[in-house]
Amino acid sequence: MSLLSNFSTAISCRKLPVFDPVNRSTHRQFRVSCSNVHLSDKCKREYTSVLIVPTGVGASIGGYAGDALPVARTLASVVDCLISHPNVLNAAMLYWPMPNVLYVEGYALDRFAEGLWALRPVHQNKVGLVLDAGIEEELRIRHLQVVDATRASLGLPVLEYVVTDRPLEVEKWVDPKNGRATGRIKHPDSLLRAVQSLCDRSMVNAVAVVARFPDDDIDDVDDYRQGKGIDLLAGVEAIISHLVVKNFRIPCAHSPALLPPPLTKSLCPKSAAEELGYTFLPCVLAGLANAPQYLAYKSEFQEKGCIVANDVDSVILPADACGGDGVLAFANKRTKPLIICVQENETVLNDTPDKLGIDVVKVSNYWEAIGVVAAHKAGIDPNSLRRDKIKNISTVSLLPSNSSVVSSPRTFA
């Protein structure tokens, strides 16, 4: 009786008016609503995944202009909460709002994985903008017009901007040891003073930085536009945002200021998002508008709604990029999340799980990775979806290790 009663509360039938275009009349039709079908899901905690594609390493997927965003969108439709970083979620003039995705800068993501920081989701941040004094006037005006457009058309909370007191003078190069893009800014103190000014004067709690980057050699631009090689800007972009997050513990992302490249008729779709305008700023502002805040004190970790590293259920990343601080921290946790390595997403790195002694699930591509996540979220051993991957259960001996009795697989009739 109670079962039928519960079932009846989960399904309601309503007789709704429906217009018949043939007979030009209205009749009533039953429609069934199953609004509480997933009521039992409330007994489970939310499933959280982390999606990582390191920046500046020539990743086959995620090494260009937001080409890992489709992966993030698909994964976000499967999990309850997805944590990722600007290199995955930024696509220059393009972006995609996903309410269950947390936009976390790379340095903060590493500290989160290490259990040193927690994430506190927000409804809205107060965003400030730092412009490099080295940006030419016309290019600066273009960026400010983009900011006003996002404020007026998207309602983004960008409060104020400040220009650095001297040009930052960005330099970029490829590290000959590992092939990664890297670089430096000659005047980091100028950047820090600008951010401090915004925090003090406007009380902002998220910062977008636009630095003038040296224009690329045409050969390097052509390689990137053809979907080859590495993003030469990405390495020093990460250095800039890491500097701000480390010193101020607030969300930060960077957008380079560059002169538009000459038109080309031959362009790889993976790089095309960066050809749409004069700036890459829209995706950065959209991401920072509701990026989670970073909590560094253990006493704050108990705040309602905060997310800590132990809440993470799975981590997805390229198979040869397992050497980062965040990945190693997740791999060494006592309650280790499921780590899924995607072999199709190759980078210039050679930090494989076998080389590092990390226990992972290896998959060929992101199709398989998302299938593994779906099974894991459902509480199903992903191996049970494969042919002959479930072996006979083994027994563990309770006798001392020097006993002649050893554990052996148990077989069934």
Its pTM stands at 0.84
Structural domain for 20, as ranges:
2-43
Shared-domain flag, residues 57 and 196: yes
Asked if residue 215 is part of any domain, the answer here is yes
Residue 229: the pLDDT is 78
Shared-domain flag, residues 106 and 15: no
Shared-domain flag, residues 91 and 233: yes
For 12-50, what is the HEC assignment? EEEEEEEEECCCCEEEEEEEEECCCCCHHHHHCCCCEEE
Other Cβ atoms within 10 Å of 322 Cβ, number: 27
Residue 153: the pLDDT is 95
* 67: DSSP letter: T
133 to 20, 148, 166, 277, 287: CA distances (angstroms):
66, 19, 6, 21, 24
- CB 207, CB 129: distance < 8 Å: yes
Taking the CA atoms of residue 15, residue 18, residue 22 and residue 23 in that order, the dihedral angle to the nearest 10 degrees is 60
Residue showing tokens 């969108």: 73
Shared-domain flag, residues 30 and 145: no
Q: In whole angstroms, what is the distance from residue 57 CA to residue 87 CA?
A: 11
Shared-domain flag, residues 279 and 241: yes
Residue where one domain finishes, among candidates 253, 273, 298: 298
Asked if residue 244 is part of any domain, the answer here is yes
Asked if residue 169 is part of any domain, the answer here is yes
* 292: DSSP letter: P
Residue where one domain finishes, among candidates 254, 275, 298: 298
Helices (H), 309-409: 325-331, 353-356, 366-377
Residue 413: the pLDDT is 36
| Domain count of the fold of the chain | 2
Shared-domain flag, residues 126 and 254: yes
* 261: DSSP letter: P
Asked if residue 389 is part of any domain, the answer here is no
Asked if residue 76 is part of any domain, the answer here is yes
Shared-domain flag, residues 192 and 268: yes
Shared-domain flag, residues 28 and 52: no
Asked if residue 347 is part of any domain, the answer here is no
pLDDT of the chain, 413 residues: tens digit per residue: 444 444 344 444 444 555 454 455 555 444 444 444 444 566 778 999 999 999 999 999 999 889 999 999 999 999 999 999 999 999 998 989 899 999 999 999 999 999 999 999 999 999 999 999 999 999 999 999 999 999 999 999 999 999 999 999 999 999 998 899 999 999 999 999 999 999 999 999 999 999 999 886 656 677 777 778 788 889 999 999 999 999 999 999 999 998 887 788 878 888 888 888 888 999 999 999 999 999 997 777 777 789 999 999 999 999 999 999 999 999 999 889 999 999 999 999 999 999 999 999 999 999 999 999 999 999 999 999 988 888 888 888 887 766 554 444 443 33
Cα four-point dihedral sign 78, 81, 87, 93: positive
Residue 276: the pLDDT is 82
Asked if residue 315 is part of any domain, the answer here is no
Residue 216: the pLDDT is 67
Q: In whole angstroms, what is the distance from residue 325 CA to residue 175 CA?
A: 19
Asked if residue 70 is part of any domain, the answer here is yes
